[in-house]
Chains A and B, each alone.
Chain A
């Protein structure tokens, strides 16, 4: 059983290495261990989105029952997205759950995740806070997502205003990431974020 999983991952790995997406640097796949049970994926933020210019690392765990059950995928890079937990990186995507089909491959999974970054589904959220912001204040959501992409995924868009507000909270003794989460959750309203942090 584990044999068919390993055999398939081997073939898929070759397929990804040869694929044109890798040539375009859109996706990447690396082995973490020698028995093909854990891999490291990487996807580029799609152009014309808040994630453009960022590179997002993914943890891929292949179950023994692969390909009859989907691989377990999680974002290792922090990301601000309605369908991805900003805390754990857990992904809410149907093909990684009940819509998985045995003919899907790691390549199609990586491409689907890239597509998820350009087309969020706020009505089926993983992170309720992000999803609410997406629906109520899309501009604020884009600003926050761009800022997170810049800080955690190496994106090019620096936002001095955000950095300044975070610095103010750090000066009050708050840890940087905690400060960023609080400000992001309260639409970068410094007063409300402070209130929440000290309540």
Chain B
């Protein structure tokens, strides 16, 4: 056993010298290699995936583990909950084969790409108040004015107690009374 490992070490050293990577000490190299080992087969991870708890596996290894115990899917290292959907594949740059690993059996789950937030908040309902306006005017023009406010988000209410808030409250009351007077006038006239 020990003889084979020494011969491997010797070979490793010579190949590194050929490449001219002298400054790396052997220990550092070793620990770096261990970092990329699959936690199941203990070999360098192929078709690597990483769990949400941060543990690295070959996808075929992890797939087989999940198949072995379908009713208790836990991380083989820390026993956190794990599932096919909740692992992230790792795509390195320097892979020689360009084929899609997902075409292989078992298929590796796809990466999860979340869209960035774009501040679209529905039809103005989401921000706390339903908001509709209408107007009265001659036919073609009135059609344009009496619409729902689609798309445009309503500016948020200013915080309570600020002068702006008081002003807005006052204005909305004034317009409400104006509208009521207007309707009353229409009915009476």
Please list the residues of chain A having a beta carbon within 8 angstroms of any beta carbon in chain B: 4, 7-8, 11-14, 17, 65, 67-69, 98, 101-104
A68 touches which of B55, B68, B74, B75 (Cβ 8 Å)? B68
B74 touches which of A11, A17, A101 (Cβ 8 Å)? A101
23 residue pairs A–B, Cβ–Cβ below 8 Å: A4-B41, A7-B41, A7-B42, A8-B41, A11-B43, A12-B42, A13-B1, A68-B65, A68-B68, A69-B68, A98-B72, A101-B75, A101-B76, A101-B77, A101-B79, A102-B40, A102-B61, A102-B65, A102-B76, A103-B39, A103-B55, A103-B77, A104-B76
Listed from nearest, the 5 A-B pairs whose CB atoms lie closest are: A102-B76, A103-B76, A68-B68, A103-B77, A103-B39
Q: Which residues of A contact B43 (CB under 8 A)?
A: 7, 11
Query: Measured between C-beta atoms, what is the minimum distance from A97 to chain B in Å?
Result: 12
Q: Which residues of B contact A98 (CB under 8 A)?
A: 72
A11 touches which of B42, B61, B68, B75 (Cβ 8 Å)? B42
Query: Measured between C-beta atoms, what is the minimum distance from B58 to chain A in Å?
Result: 10
Is there a chain A Cβ closer than 8 Å to B118's Cβ?
no
Please list the residues of chain B having a beta carbon within 8 angstroms of any beta carbon in chain A: 1, 5, 39-43, 55, 61, 64-65, 68, 72, 74-77, 79
Q: Which residues of B contact A11 (CB under 8 A)?
A: 42-43
Alpha-carbon distance A155/B75, docked complex (angstroms): 40
Query: Measured between C-beta atoms, what is the minimum distance from A168 to chain B in Å?
Result: 50
Highest count of chain A CB atoms <10 Å: which of B42, B55, B72: B42
Query: Measured between C-beta atoms, what is the minimum distance from B60 to chain A in Å?
Result: 9
Highest count of chain A CB atoms <10 Å: which of B76, B77, B79: B76
Query: Measured between C-beta atoms, what is the minimum distance from A69 to chain B in Å?
Result: 7
Contacts A7-B43, A102-B76 known; 17 new A-B pairs at CB < 8 A: A4-B61, A8-B41, A11-B42, A11-B43, A12-B42, A14-B1, A14-B5, A17-B1, A68-B64, A68-B65, A69-B68, A101-B75, A101-B76, A103-B40, A103-B55, A103-B76, A103-B77
A102 and B39 contacting across the interface, CB-CB below 8 Å = yes
Alpha-carbon distance A10/B145, docked complex (angstroms): 80
Query: Measured between C-beta atoms, what is the minimum distance from B181 to chain A in Å?
Result: 76
Q: Which residues of A contact B40 (CB under 8 A)?
A: 67-68, 102-103
Alpha-carbon distance A65/B75, docked complex (angstroms): 18
| Identity of the chain A residue whose Cβ is nearest the Cβ of B74 in the assembled complex | A101
Query: Measured between C-beta atoms, what is the minimum distance from A169 to chain B in Å?
Result: 47
Q: Which residues of A contact B55 (CB under 8 A)?
A: 103
Query: Measured between C-beta atoms, what is the minimum distance from A36 to chain B in Å?
Result: 12
Q: Which residues of A contact B65 (CB under 8 A)?
A: 68, 102
Query: Measured between C-beta atoms, what is the minimum distance from B82 to chain A in Å?
Result: 11
Alpha-carbon distance A30/B124, docked complex (angstroms): 72
Query: Measured between C-beta atoms, what is the minimum distance from B153 to chain A in Å?
Result: 49
Alpha-carbon distance A101/B64, docked complex (angstroms): 12
Alpha-carbon distance A98/B39, docked complex (angstroms): 19
Alpha-carbon distance A150/B79, docked complex (angstroms): 39
Query: Measured between C-beta atoms, what is the minimum distance from B97 to chain A in Å?
Result: 21
Alpha-carbon distance A177/B183, docked complex (angstroms): 108
Query: Measured between C-beta atoms, what is the minimum distance from B72 to chain A in Å?
Result: 7
Q: Which residues of A contact B72 (CB under 8 A)?
A: 98
Query: Measured between C-beta atoms, what is the minimum distance from B87 to chain A in Å?
Result: 14
Q: Which residues of B contact A13 (CB under 8 A)?
A: 1
Q: Which residues of A contact B1 (CB under 8 A)?
A: 13-14, 17
